[in-house]
Amino acid sequence: MTDLLSKNERFMTTLTDFMPGMVGYWTKELRSAFANREYLNWFGKNAEEMKGIRMQDLLGEALFSKNEPFIWAALEGRVQEFERTLTKTNGETRETLTHYIPHLEGNEVRGFFVLILDITERKQLEAALVAVAEERQRALGQELHDNLGQQIAAMGYQARALEKKILASGDADSAKIAASIAAQAQHAVMQCKQLAQGLLPFELESNGLLGALQEFSSRVSNTYGVTCHFVCQYEAVVDGGNLALNLYRIAQEAVNNAIRHGGAKHLTISLALEKGCLCLSICDDGCGFAADAKQTASAGMGIKIMQYRANQFGATLQFLLRAEGGTEVRVEMRES
Ligand SMILES: Nc1ncnc2c1ncn2[C@@H]1O[C@H](COP(=O)(O)OP(=O)(O)OP(=O)(O)O)[C@@H](O)[C@H]1O
Ligand SMILES: [Mg+2]
């Protein structure tokens, strides 16, 4: 029997040593019962040092208390999945995806398995993709505003001048055509400006997040024939370009989804400070949609990018069905 057990243990060690990630097992007393080679390397320990070590001692108090909610949930029998930036004992930081899988015998939780994957490269790629998309939008917005928009505006001025000349020559019908060209050019300039503003939120730099969201909601009302209000119960300035830009982009995507998919007619964007949390909420009165952002399998990119942006600053993203109908997209971020 002992021989069989040790054979099994050797097999498990060999198997997990070849796995591309950290594999471990923690008892319900939070003592290590198993750790594969990768796990040992990560924490700079050998198998003897690891065996029976307390989780608090291995992780340190700070990381342990951050992980505690997931630990207790796993010990209640619930599978846990979360991302963490971890610092190795050699000082190197890596992005990780951790799974806690409860070990159940009947109804009793005996401990939990841990699987930690290093997702640093994936996170870097995600960040690069979003940065490229952001840069493309910026370049396109600038081009529309500074180049195409200016050219169409010049054509409009020339059409106006032509209209005056033709009128002076007494050809009222031709003057009407010139006037119509001028009016269409003016309309096209407005559209260029609006597109450029969507792609390149100038107001973020000049007026900060509050001004930009205010401006955005009036633009939505004017462009889509819906009502879009901005309510702000948060006076502090949200600067730190990236945070403001990410929140702004999340609001943009949520509003676009509400109008395109939900058929919403009334929208409210609000920014508030609730129980120490900065909360951005976008409510719509559309057909309603609730999802776990992390598990939504959709062909679209919008929700995935929203989730990525929320992760960037450690915020949670939720899609909630509103009691009165419609959807609330809610981003909550604990103030540091
Ligand atoms: N406010 C909403 N009301 C109703 N349905 C929604 C709402 N938000 C999202 N959805 C649903 O979720 C799906 C996924 O949204 P997501 O933004 O990820 O993709 P998309 O809008 O279809 O494409 P993309 O954003 O890439 O242009 C949508 O296709 C829609 O079915
Ligand atoms: Mg979308």
Render pLDDT for 254-287 as a digit per residue (tens, 0 to 9).
Answer: 999 999 999 999 999 999 988 888 999 999 999 9
The Cβ of residue 282 has, within 10 Å, a number of other Cβ atoms equal to 25
Give, using CA atoms, the residue closest to atom 3 of ligand 1.
Answer: 262
Question: Is residue 310 classed exposed, middle or buried when 0-12, 13-18 and 19+ CB atoms within 10 A define those classes?
Answer: buried
Instruction: Tell which of 92, 118, 144 closes a domain.
Output: 118
Across 171-194, average pLDDT: 93
Residues 97 and 132 in one domain: no
What is the pLDDT, as a whole number, of residue 204?
A: 82
Residues 251 and 148 in one domain: no
> If you search the block for the tokens 């929208």, which residue do you land on?
267
Pocket test for ligand 1, best of 257, 282, 327 (most atoms within 8 A of CB): 257
Amino acid making up residue 86: L
**CATH number of 246's domain:** 3.30.565.10
Ligand 1 closest atom vs CA 298: 14
**How large is the angle between the packed helices 149-169 and 172-199, nearest 10 degrees?**
170
Residues 157 and 232 in one domain: no
The tens digit of pLDDT for each residue in 121-154 reads 998 998 898 889 888 888 898 888 888 999 999 9
Cα 296 to ligand 1 centre (Å): 10
- Gap between the Cα atoms of 272 and 281, Å rounded: 8
Looking at the DSSP bridge assignments, the partners of residue 99 are 81, 115
Residues 190 and 234 in one domain: no
Ligand 2 is an ion; its neighbours by CB within 5 Å are: 257, 300, 302
Q: Judge whether residue 249 has pLDDT over 80.
A: yes
Phi-psi region of 288 (alpha: psi -120 to 50; beta: other; left: phi over 0): left
Whether residue 60 contacts residue 42, with contact meaning beta carbons closer than 8 Å, is answered with no
DSSP state of 6: H
**CATH number of 94's domain:** 3.30.450.20
Give, using CA atoms, the residue closest to atom 23 of ligand 1.
Answer: 300
Residues 102 and 33 in one domain: yes
Mean pLDDT of the chain: 89
Whether residue 84 contacts residue 98, with contact meaning beta carbons closer than 8 Å, is answered with yes
Q: Which two tokens stand for residue 229?
A: 């209000």
The Cβ of residue 22 has, within 10 Å, a number of other Cβ atoms equal to 23
The DSSP element (H or E) to which 169 belongs, if any, is helix 149-169
Which of 294, 298, 270 minimizes the C-alpha distance to 282? 270
Looking at all shown ligands, the one closest to residue 258's CA atom is 1
Cα 277 to ligand 1 centre (Å): 26
Alpha helices in 170-201 (DSSP H): 172-199
Give, using CA atoms, the residue closest to atom 22 of ligand 1.
Answer: 300
Instruction: Tell which of 145, 169, 200 closes a domain.
Output: 200
Q: Which two tokens stand for residue 205?
A: 């730099």
Sign of the torsion formed by the C-alpha atoms of 60, 66, 72 and 78: negative
Residues 212 and 187 in one domain: no
Residues 15 and 91 in one domain: yes
User: CB-based contacts of 70: which residues, under 8 Å, 6+ apart?
Assistant: 80, 82, 98, 100
Residues 182 and 247 in one domain: no
- Gap between the Cα atoms of 64 and 6, Å rounded: 31
Pocket test for ligand 1, best of 261, 265, 266 (most atoms within 8 A of CB): 261
- Gap between the Cα atoms of 2 and 323, Å rounded: 60
Alpha helices in 225-292 (DSSP H): 241-260
Looking at all shown ligands, the one closest to residue 321's CA atom is 1
Number of domain units in the chain: 3
Across 90-104, average pLDDT: 92
Cα 258 to ligand 1 centre (Å): 8
Residues 242 and 172 in one domain: no
Q: Which domain holds residue 216?
A: 208-336
Task: Report residues whose beta carbon is within 6 angstroms of any ligand 1 atom.
Answer: 257-258, 261-262, 284, 286-287, 289, 298, 300-303, 327
Q: Judge whether residue 4 has pLDDT over 60.
A: no
Instruction: Tell which of 200, 225, 242 closes a domain.
Output: 200
Residues 87 and 155 in one domain: no
Whether residue 289 contacts residue 274, with contact meaning beta carbons closer than 8 Å, is answered with no
Residues 11 and 36 in one domain: yes
Residues 212 and 321 in one domain: yes
Who has greater pLDDT, 328 or 334?
A: 328
Pocket test for ligand 1, best of 259, 283, 298, 307 (most atoms within 8 A of CB): 298
Give, using CA atoms, the residue closest to atom 28 of ligand 1.
Answer: 261
